[in-house]
Chain A
């Protein structure tokens, strides 16, 4: 599946085979993981050195600090996996480490570019790379804690409804709260400001709601597979079973309207649709859902100027270059990508300061400019490996809830990449959303580390040898047993 390492042991058949061989434990492949982590660390350090050389700075202590912090953090994460999920997929953590490390380097690089910039309101650029290192540390702590305290992912299914409620509240909260606590930033009302902290509850809601939907769909699976009428060769679901789909659609539209957050609503709806499809194995849901979404999108486009703006900016970014809220951002992104070309300008040699929101929404444009098409393609492939390894865990795991949750999480990761990179490269209209593990931002990073911890947990469950059944007392074969007299019923 595009993975760089041979993974024969991953398939369920093989793991069953090894687990049944007495005295032979399935390989945990933690060593492989450590080697790949070291490889990722090498790439990230090289990237950092390139940035420093291109920016013509001496290799200062700060770099050493950042490099060591990186090694320490992921070394600790590796130990956590070794301790609490020894059979987890070995490729997932290195992929995450590579993406997160590259993200840190690029964020640091953008700091250098924006150093000393004075904004129109008189404020100066505040370097954020260090903050992102702290967020990474907290994220990895959460990651380790998730692995430690969640020894079996099926436990989550029991709290499905609780998670669902919390997730729903988290998703909608910024939209309904007043502006002083939920300010509108860059046109989207998706933030909660608590003291000095700004958090994006929607990022966490994504994971919480996925747990809920997986649990809900597994428990009500039979209901959804009950066929309704046949239409155009598809089994349509019964009207009364459409409830959850309509509910999801309603929430999506609410997010779009209340929070003006097109990216999140698209992501959320896509996830629900895929979960429904995996649970029911019926394409009818997808067709129906896409129909609903298209309808909703058209209506939103008709009604809301911010949707019309995004679409117009997508169609003609240059024509709307000078319009406020127009095509400036996407144009700059495309200029950067095109100027980068195949090989890129070189890390530290591009002009990320010209791309707005360079360290969040448009970070992949910076990567495309400085590392070129080659670098962007590599990043996309790492994402693909990450998502497919997650999906493989879902395919291999034995329980329905695990399959559904794992599949949903893996898809969510990939779909999010599609939405943001597609927006940045003008494949689809730009919708503000983060690039997982690359973009600057605590909420996104923490939520995604939880997501990855869950994927690791599911893959560990898939690859771990089945717990040996309780040792039964030694019994002779049935043929050797005495015949037992059964008392005749009275």
Chain B
């Protein structure tokens, strides 16, 4: 019987070898397929076991902190003043993943970023748990707070973005309605789930979306700054005359393109570019766009940052576009920021900042410094000049026209000590634009002669003014308050 017994022994060894081979396949050779599967939450849980880095604003105030807990996930993410900063910080949730800065800088915050490599090795040697790096933002806590308060005071849905024109530093990025990221970071899965349900409910108005970077709106009259820039580049100047008609027909069609309320732009047949911009005359700018042509207009918009897909600040930014311009009728409509023009509040702030910076477009950014766990700076963001959108002279000319526009704009919140250059917009949208409450825009920079802050404000659906809303009445007071917050008392 020994021969079959020995064969059985061989069979037993073969079985063990098969198991070893298969374990090698699962655990070593093909391990990544299973390890990185989205259903595998171990990697995420391991991240929670590490002390995540902090997020601070420019003055060092901590807006995303960590607290050690006694439960399964060792560290709890806490957000200070969460609703104000949520559009930027995003959330960190066991169940619902990450968003905002928590996602964009995840590798750094969780300590796996290559820039932290040396520190990880030393942590390994000293036996200490690896710790995430810290992110210091460019946000100015005062400006951010005012921007958020201004939007929420009347329960507006909208966004404010403020940029330092000379560098591209983002000073404020508010989006409302906002949310408290603390509930999503909770280690209580029921609390997370009910908060998530509430925040994603149909009538909740998408609080989880950062409108500054993720929402695309018709640019409305704020686009006239770009049309004017294109015309200036095309050899026109602020005195070039355009039609003053209250209404014109779109080329090759019977459709009317009226001014606001259908009024003529001036007493005569024509009106200067300066007056047209100050009064935001649609007919003049439609004609101006028609003269410039689709290609030059598009090129000018690109110089201001349109069509820049893949822009990250480091939050990913939706791509602003002029949309297709198949014929002159479309070109006319595009010239007044309607038709298929889509722009993010951030991009509109970049437009204002670029004009303010003498035509030099700076790359907008939110992260000023990367700090190691020991709070030593590892990396600093240098301002990056992307491209020259306008000549210095043209930028100055446009600035002067925008100063006139500000003077012409109504609304509250003026500070006579601060000269602002601005452009409002009242963007129609929806399938029946005349019966849909318009979005109110305001882009501006100040002080006009030596700009330190450029802003874009959008209030969706007319804010508290309904169908009668205009950029000047609804958005401008917010913009002025934000500018004052930054400039007054400095």
| Interface residue A331 (Cβ < 8 Å from any Cβ of B) | yes
Interchain Cβ contacts under 8 Å between A and B, 14 examples: A1-B9, A274-B8, A277-B7, A278-B1, A281-B4, A334-B34, A377-B23, A380-B16, A380-B19, A384-B16, A388-B9, A418-B18, A418-B19, A422-B22
Given A368-B27, A421-B19, CB of A335 within 8 Å of CB of B37: yes
A351 touches B8 (CB 8 A): no
Q: How many angstroms between the C-alpha atoms of A10 and B35 in the bound complex? A: 45
Contact of B22 among A277, A281, A410, A425 (CB under 8 A): A425
Nearest CB in chain A: distance from B39 CB, A: 6
A395 touches B2 (CB 8 A): yes
User: Within 8 Å CB of B39, what residues of A?
Assistant: 318, 321, 331, 335
User: Within 8 Å CB of B18, what residues of A?
Assistant: 418, 422, 427
Given A334-B34, A373-B27, A407-B5, CB of A354 within 8 Å of CB of B12: no
B12 touches A384 (CB 8 A): yes
| Interface residue A236 (Cβ < 8 Å from any Cβ of B) | no
A27-35, A189-197, A338-346, A467-475: which lies at the B interface?
A338-346
Most A CB contacts (10 A, CB to CB) among B19, B24, B45 go to B19
Given A354-B42, A383-B16, CB of A335 within 8 Å of CB of B35: yes
| Interface residue B6 (Cβ < 8 Å from any Cβ of A) | yes
| Interface residue B33 (Cβ < 8 Å from any Cβ of A) | yes
Q: Name the CB-closest residue of B to A420.
A: B19
B27 touches A337 (CB 8 A): yes
Nearest CB in chain A: distance from B200 CB, A: 20
Nearest CB in chain B: distance from A359 CB, A: 18
User: Within 8 Å CB of B431, what residues of A?
Assistant: none
| Interface residue B43 (Cβ < 8 Å from any Cβ of A) | yes
A354 touches B16 (CB 8 A): no
Given A338-B34, A394-B5, CB of A351 within 8 Å of CB of B42: yes
User: Within 8 Å CB of A427, what residues of B?
Assistant: 18-19, 22
Q: Name the CB-closest residue of A to B21.
A: A427
User: Within 8 Å CB of B13, what residues of A?
Assistant: 2, 384, 388
Q: How many angstroms between the C-alpha atoms of A400 and B43 in the bound complex? A: 55
| Interface residue A449 (Cβ < 8 Å from any Cβ of B) | no
User: Within 8 Å CB of A404, what residues of B?
Assistant: 1
B4 touches A414 (CB 8 A): no
Contact of B4 among A277, A353, A410, A426 (CB under 8 A): A277
B4 touches A278 (CB 8 A): yes
Nearest CB in chain B: distance from A231 CB, A: 20
Interface contacts beyond A338-B32, A351-B42, A422-B22: sample of 6 additional A-B pairs, CB < 8 Å, sorted by A: A277-B8, A353-B72, A403-B1, A411-B8, A414-B12, A418-B16
List of 5 A-B pairs having minimum Cβ-Cβ separation, nearest first: A338-B34, A335-B40, A373-B27, A338-B31, A418-B15
A341 touches B1 (CB 8 A): no
Residues of B contacting A: mostly = helix
User: Within 8 Å CB of B2, what residues of A?
Assistant: 395, 403
Interface membership of chain A positions 38-49, coded 1 if the CB is closer than 8 angstroms to chain B and 0 otherwise: 000000000000
Nearest CB in chain A: distance from B38 CB, A: 9
| Interface residue B295 (Cβ < 8 Å from any Cβ of A) | no
Q: Name the CB-closest residue of B to A56.
A: B74
| Interface residue B41 (Cβ < 8 Å from any Cβ of A) | yes
Q: Name the CB-closest residue of A to B7.
A: A277
Contact of A417 among B19, B24, B43 (CB under 8 A): B19
| Interface residue A460 (Cβ < 8 Å from any Cβ of B) | no
Interface residues of A in 410-437 (CB under 8 A from B): 410-411, 414-415, 417-418, 421-422, 425-427
User: Within 8 Å CB of A350, what residues of B?
Assistant: 42
A339 touches B42 (CB 8 A): yes
User: Within 8 Å CB of B37, what residues of A?
Assistant: 318, 331, 335
User: Within 8 Å CB of B32, what residues of A?
Assistant: 338
Nearest CB in chain B: distance from A203 CB, A: 20
Residues of A contacting B: mostly = helix
Q: How many angstroms between the C-alpha atoms of A404 and B8 in the bound complex? A: 11
| Interface residue B377 (Cβ < 8 Å from any Cβ of A) | no
Q: How many angstroms between the C-alpha atoms of A316 and B362 in the bound complex? A: 51
User: Within 8 Å CB of B41, what residues of A?
Assistant: 354
User: Within 8 Å CB of A377, what residues of B?
Assistant: 20, 23
Contact of A372 among B5, B12, B27, B72 (CB under 8 A): B27
A415 touches B15 (CB 8 A): yes
Nearest CB in chain A: distance from B317 CB, A: 34
A391 touches B45 (CB 8 A): no
User: Within 8 Å CB of A403, what residues of B?
Assistant: 1-2, 5
| Interface residue A172 (Cβ < 8 Å from any Cβ of B) | no
| Interface residue B69 (Cβ < 8 Å from any Cβ of A) | no
| Interface residue B26 (Cβ < 8 Å from any Cβ of A) | yes
Interface membership of chain A positions 258-290, coded 1 if the CB is closer than 8 angstroms to chain B and 0 otherwise: 000000000000000010011101000000000
B19 touches A335 (CB 8 A): no
| Interface residue A140 (Cβ < 8 Å from any Cβ of B) | no
A425 touches B26 (CB 8 A): yes
| Interface residue B3 (Cβ < 8 Å from any Cβ of A) | yes
A279 touches B23 (CB 8 A): no
Nearest CB in chain B: distance from A157 CB, A: 15
User: Within 8 Å CB of A380, what residues of B?
Assistant: 16, 19-20, 23
Q: Name the CB-closest residue of B to A411.
A: B8
Q: How many angstroms between the C-alpha atoms of A336 and B34 in the bound complex? A: 9
Q: Name the CB-closest residue of A to B31.
A: A338
| Interface residue A227 (Cβ < 8 Å from any Cβ of B) | no
| Interface residue B434 (Cβ < 8 Å from any Cβ of A) | no
| Interface residue A376 (Cβ < 8 Å from any Cβ of B) | yes
User: Within 8 Å CB of A414, what residues of B?
Assistant: 12, 15-16
A351 touches B19 (CB 8 A): no
Q: Name the CB-closest residue of B to A372.
A: B27
User: Within 8 Å CB of A331, what residues of B?
Assistant: 34, 37, 39
| Interface residue B28 (Cβ < 8 Å from any Cβ of A) | yes
A368 touches B23 (CB 8 A): yes
User: Within 8 Å CB of B34, what residues of A?
Assistant: 331, 334-335, 337-339
Interface residues of A in 293-348 (CB under 8 A from B): 318, 321, 331, 334-342
Nearest CB in chain B: distance from A363 CB, A: 15
Q: How many angstroms between the C-alpha atoms of A372 and B35 in the bound complex? A: 13
Q: Name the CB-closest residue of B to A369.
A: B42
Q: How many angstroms between the C-alpha atoms of A350 and B41 in the bound complex? A: 12
Q: How many angstroms between the C-alpha atoms of A220 and B7 in the bound complex? A: 22
| Interface residue A173 (Cβ < 8 Å from any Cβ of B) | no
Nearest CB in chain A: distance from B158 CB, A: 39
Q: How many angstroms between the C-alpha atoms of A351 and B20 in the bound complex? A: 22
Nearest CB in chain B: distance from A429 CB, A: 13
Q: How many angstroms between the C-alpha atoms of A175 and B143 in the bound complex? A: 74
A340 touches B8 (CB 8 A): no
B26 touches A351 (CB 8 A): no
Interface membership of chain A positions 368-391, coded 1 if the CB is closer than 8 angstroms to chain B and 0 otherwise: 100011001100110110011001
Given A391-B5, A395-B5, CB of A337 within 8 Å of CB of B26: yes
User: Within 8 Å CB of A279, what residues of B?
Assistant: 1
B16 touches A426 (CB 8 A): no
Q: How many angstroms between the C-alpha atoms of A417 and B13 in the bound complex? A: 12
Q: How many angstroms between the C-alpha atoms of A51 and B37 in the bound complex? A: 27
Q: How many angstroms between the C-alpha atoms of A425 and B27 in the bound complex? A: 9
A381 touches B16 (CB 8 A): yes
Most B CB contacts (10 A, CB to CB) among A334, A340, A387, A417 go to A334
A387 touches B40 (CB 8 A): no
Q: How many angstroms between the C-alpha atoms of A387 and B11 in the bound complex? A: 11
Contact of B27 among A277, A281, A376 (CB under 8 A): A376
Q: How many angstroms between the C-alpha atoms of A340 and B26 in the bound complex? A: 10
